Chains A and B, each alone.
Chain A
Amino acid sequence: MRKDTGKNIQPDTALIGSCIKKDRTAFKQLVTMYQQYAYNLAFKILLEEEDAKDVVQETFIRIWNHIDNYRKEILFTTWMYRIVTNLCYDKLKSFKRKNHVSLHDAAGQGINLTNETEHNADSAENHEMIKQIRRLSRGLTTKQRMVFILRDIQGHSVKEVSEVLNMSEGAVKTNLYLARMFIREEFYKSENTGRIVR
C-alpha cells in the first residue's frame, strides 16, 4: 500500500517563483498546501504534538529563507521532508543530550500518554498505533528509526528515503534491514505477551 506523501501534488514553477520573490500570499498558499504533510512526518518521528508543530514552523521559516536554493531537479516535497527530518534529527539528539524522558521511552515502561498527545490522536486506532510505534522503535538508533518511519510507516520508496536522508540506497537498505529485524523481534515478543492488538 502506498499512501499520499504529497509527491503527486507539487507546487508549480509560478508559485515557487513568487515565493522566491518573497510574496507572502504565495508563501501562505504553499504553507497551506504542505504543512499537513510536514506535520505528518514530524509527528511520526517525534510522536509529540508540540514538538512536531515547532518543527513544522521552523521548516517553513527555513523554506522561506532558503527557497532560492531550491533546485527543481528534486521534488519540492523531498526537499521539504529533508528539512523536516534534519530538524527532527536535531530534536531527537537534543532530547538524548538533555536525558529527556520522552514518551518514546516512557511507553515501554508502561507510562500513560499525556492528554496533550491524546487529543491529537484523533482516533483510538491512532492512539494505539502511537503506543505501538513507541514501544517497537524505542531500541532503534536515530538513523534506523528515520529510515523505518519513512519507508514502512510513511510509505516512501527506498530511492525517496535515500534522497530525503541524503544517504545511499545501500545504506537505506542496511538500516531498514536492521530496523526491521529489531522491530520483528519486538513484535513477536509483544505478540507473545498479547500487547499488540491487530
Chain B
Amino acid sequence: MNCHTSKKYLYLFREGELSKTEKAALTRHLKDCNTCRMFAEKTQGFEYYLNSLQSFEPQLTNPEKLTEEIMQNIPDNGKKRVIKSTRLFGTLIVRVAASILIIIQVAMYVYQKSFINHSVLSLNNNNQTTRSQNHDRQNLNAECVEQTKTILLDIFGDAGITLRHSTFAFTKNLSPGEIESYAVQICACSSEIEKLRDKEQKKLFLTNLINKEMTLKF
C-alpha cells in the first residue's frame, strides 16, 4: 500500500466503509510508515473535533410563539398566504422609505438642473443682449463718424477740417471712443445744420461746435 491509498483508506475507515482485509492492510501500512502514522494521529484529532461539533444543539427560545406564528400564517382553505415576519415588515418599511428618499432626490435633482438651466439661459440671454446692444452702439457710432465725415466734406468742400480734426484727435491721443462721441454730437445737430441755408453759416455753426466741444473736452 502506498501513502496516497493509505490516506484514502483512513477517510473510508471513518465512514465505516473499509472491509476487514482493507483495515488489516491499513494497519500494516501505519505500522511501517511514520509519515502516515503521524497523519493518522493528526486526523484523529480532527475526527475528534468533528465529533465534538455534533454536540452543537441550537434551541428555539420560544417554540410556542413560533408554532402560533406558523398557525396564523397557514392559509385557511388552501389559499397561499404571505409570511408575516417582522423582518419582512421591516424590509417593507425600509423599501418604502428608500423609495421616498429616491423620489425626493430625483425631484431635487430635476429642480436644481432646471434652475441651473434657467439661470444659464438667462445669463446667456443677458450676455447676448449686452453684446447685441454693444454691437448696435458700435454700429451707430461708426455710422455717426461716417455721417460726420460726409457733413464736414459737404460743408467745407474738402476733408481739411476732417483731417485737421483727425490729426488733432490723433495728436491729442483721442481714443476712438472720444472721436465717436464728437461725431455723435455733430450728428445730433445734423438736422439744425441742414436747416441753415447758407454754407458759411453751416461752417460757422460747425466750427463753433467743434471748437466749443474741443474747448470743453481739452
Contact = CB atoms under 8 A, between A and B. Distances in A.
Given A35-B63, A61-B83, A187-B49, A153 B54 contact: yes
Nearest to A53: B66
Interface string B3-25: 00000000100010000000000
A81 interface: no
A57 B58 contact: no
Interface stretch (B68-76, B103-111, B144-152, B187-195): B68-76
Contact of B66 (A56, A64, A153): A56
A32 B67 contact: yes
Interface of A: 1, 3, 22, 24, 27-28, 31-32, 35-36, 39-40, 43-44, 49-50, 52-54, 56-58, 60-61, 64-65, 119-122, 125-126, 129-130, 132-133, 152-155, 158, 173, 177, 180, 184, 187-188, 196, 198
A1 B83 contact: no
A120 B11 contact: no
Given A39-B58, A61-B83, A120-B61, 15 more contacts: A1-B54, A24-B71, A32-B67, A36-B60, A40-B58, A52-B58, A57-B70, A60-B70, A65-B78, A129-B53, A129-B56, A133-B53, A133-B56, A152-B54, A153-B54
A133 B73 CA distance: 32
A91 to B, nearest CB: 12
B46 A184 contact: yes
B58 A121 contact: yes
30 contacts: A22-B77, A22-B78, A27-B74, A32-B67, A35-B63, A36-B60, A36-B63, A40-B57, A40-B58, A53-B66, A53-B85, A54-B83, A54-B87, A57-B69, A58-B83, A61-B80, A121-B58, A122-B61, A126-B57, A129-B53, A129-B55, A130-B56, A132-B53, A153-B54, A158-B15, A173-B15, A180-B50, A184-B43, A187-B46, A187-B49
Chain A, interface SS category: helix
Interface residues of B, number: 37
A15 to B, nearest CB: 15
B47 to A, nearest CB: 10
Interface of B: 11, 15, 42-43, 46, 48-61, 63, 66-67, 69-71, 73-75, 77-78, 80-81, 83, 85-88
A119 B66 contact: no
B54 A155 contact: yes
A61 B73 contact: yes
A154 B15 CA distance: 15
Contacts of B66: 35, 39, 53, 56-57
Contacts of A54: 83, 85, 87-88
A61 B70 contact: yes
B71 A28 contact: yes
B111 to A, nearest CB: 32
A154 B63 CA distance: 20
